[in-house]
Amino acid sequence: MKGKEHFDAVVVGAGPAGSTAALVMARAGLRVALLERGEYPGAKNVSGAVLYGTSFLERLLPGFRLSAPVERYITRRSIGFMSESALFSLDYKSSGADAPPNNGFTLLRPQFDRWLAQRAVEAGALLVPKTVVDGLIREKGAVKGVRTRREKGELYADVVVAADGVNSFLAREAGLRGDFSLRGMSLGIKEVIALDRQLLEERFQINGNEGTAYEFLGSVTGNVCGGGFLYTNRESLSIGIIVQLSSLLRERARPYELLAGLKNHSSILPLIRGGSVKEYSAHMIPEGGWKMFPKLYAPGLLVAGDAAGMVLAAGCYLQGINYAMVAGEAAARTVIAAAKDRDFSAPGLARYETFLREQKLIQDFQRFQRAPEFFLNQRIQNVYPAMICRLAEQVFHAAEGPKERIRDLAAAGMRETGVSWFQLLKDLIEGGRSIGW
């Protein structure tokens, strides 16, 4: 890369948001550079994940199932409440969910991100890996490109799409956001555990392309606010915890010890027994929701994906990859329209929010803006899961003597934990509001 190379758009970050943006713009005939700091797209990402909302991907890449490195389609989803010795689950399974249109699928990010970036390359984008971006080039108050650590590595462009992850130095440099608050940031710790495919399918009672997604709340993270998960891949399991950073620091807990506690729980250990750890990784996740959203555009600059805090953590809704891709497409449509009008000013890029609203992305985050704060309080995180497990144990235990009413058992459990009926009712109402009832 020599001299003042000029592109219609420079995309920083070849994750789901960046690669989608590059793909759509390249299809429209724009000259696009897709920059990635890793050796290849996905090299810096955590492996296991679930992508929900496959209809968008089908629209973006018809027939993607024939080539995408998909692990398993989610046919079963379980939300578990944990005490130190018990697990109570809400379980859903659909026998037809492994056929199109699918609800979601598990994937390994290094493989998936590399595949998606290659689709952008095939459309005409220039992928430049192993490239660190140090800052923005500005002229007369507008972004005009980026500075990289390559020799003569200044790249000029009409628009820069910042899809550079949760830290997004570019969005901060442009003044679109400050540092995310610790309360809105979470730390994800994950392992990928290799397990014989036949054994995996027998344990989880799945066949063919079927897959499962488990999410856990309660003692899995001790006194730290957060939760755990377990996903099935073809021949491996993705297991991990996601904990609120401020709570983790306050409790002075060690994340790897929390993960070890999940793996050794009596309900989880039999599922992973005999497997071998292939990968261990950690990454930051913006889970503050709507309250964390920065300004999304400036003259010559758009922000998408984790860089804009586009991760929805709302109880049963735990999604991010799909929103990143939706934002990538919206950013691309914005640049295409701006290139047609030759207007890359802030008003010219303001239609970005319009495109995001067309896809209902902004509305989703506004609708569930109460959820992150609600689900990270101690009663939801620790008290109620233990109460649920204790109540289930008392109801299902066939003891001698007269049977107590469930209402009386629940009342006794509430007295033990100091939760009043008024507080329970208040939490039920607030919980309903937070998830849009």
Encode pLDDT of 1-37 as tens digits. Answer: 445 789 999 999 999 999 999 999 999 999 999 999 9
Please give the Cα distance from 132 to 232 (Å, whole number).
34
The token duo for 329 is 């497409």
pLDDT band at 120 (very low <50, low <70, confident <90, very high): very high
Mean of per-residue pLDDT scores for the chain: 89
pLDDT band at 398 (very low <50, low <70, confident <90, very high): low
Weakest mean pLDDT among 26-40, 250-264, 269-283, 313-327:
313-327
What pLDDT shows up at residue 97? 62
Q: Which residue has the tokens 């939801």?
A: 380
What's the CA angle centered on 396, arms 391 and 397, to 5 degrees? Answer: 100
Residue by residue, what is the 3-state secondary structure of 354-388? HHHHHCCHHHHHHHCCCHHHHHCCHHHHHHHHHHH
What pLDDT shows up at residue 389? 87
pLDDT in tens, 73-99: 999 999 999 998 899 999 988 876 666
Residue 292 CA neighbour count, 13 Å, CB half: 30
pLDDT in tens, 304-338: 999 999 988 876 677 889 999 999 999 999 999 99
- Fold match flag (5-53+107-180+290-359 vs 183-286): no
Please give the Cα distance from 95 to 76 (Å, whole number).
9
Q: Is 390 helix (H, G, I), strand (E, B) or coil?
A: helix
> Backbone dihedral region of 288: left (phi > 0), alpha (psi from -120 to 50 degrees) or beta?
alpha
pLDDT band at 240 (very low <50, low <70, confident <90, very high): very high
298 and 346 Cβ atoms separated by less than 8 Å: yes
**How do the residues of the chain divide into helix, strand and coil, expressed in percent and rounded to 5?**
40, 30, 30
pLDDT in tens, 159-176: 999 999 888 899 999 999
What value does the mean pLDDT take over residues 345-374? 92
Please give the Cα distance from 13 to 189 (Å, whole number).
22
CB burial class (10 A; 0-12, 13-18, 19+) of residue 43? middle
CA 363 to chain centre: 18
- Amino acid, single-letter form, for residue 437: W
> Beta 133-139 vs 312-314: how paired, if at all?
unpaired
CATH number for the domain whose boundaries are 5-53+107-180+290-359: 3.50.50.60
Closest CA to 116 of 42, 223, 39: 42
Write down the domain spans for the chain.
5-53+107-180+290-359, 183-286, 372-434
48 and 74 Cβ atoms separated by less than 8 Å: no
What's the CA angle centered on 53, arms 47 and 55, to 5 degrees? Answer: 120
pLDDT in tens, 224-236: 888 999 999 999 9
What value does the mean pLDDT take over residues 181-208? 91
Closest CA to 248 of 417, 381, 385: 381
pLDDT band at 177 (very low <50, low <70, confident <90, very high): confident
The fold adopted by the segment(s) 183-286 is D-Amino Acid Oxidase; Chain A, domain 2 (3.30.9)
> Backbone dihedral region of 417: left (phi > 0), alpha (psi from -120 to 50 degrees) or beta?
alpha
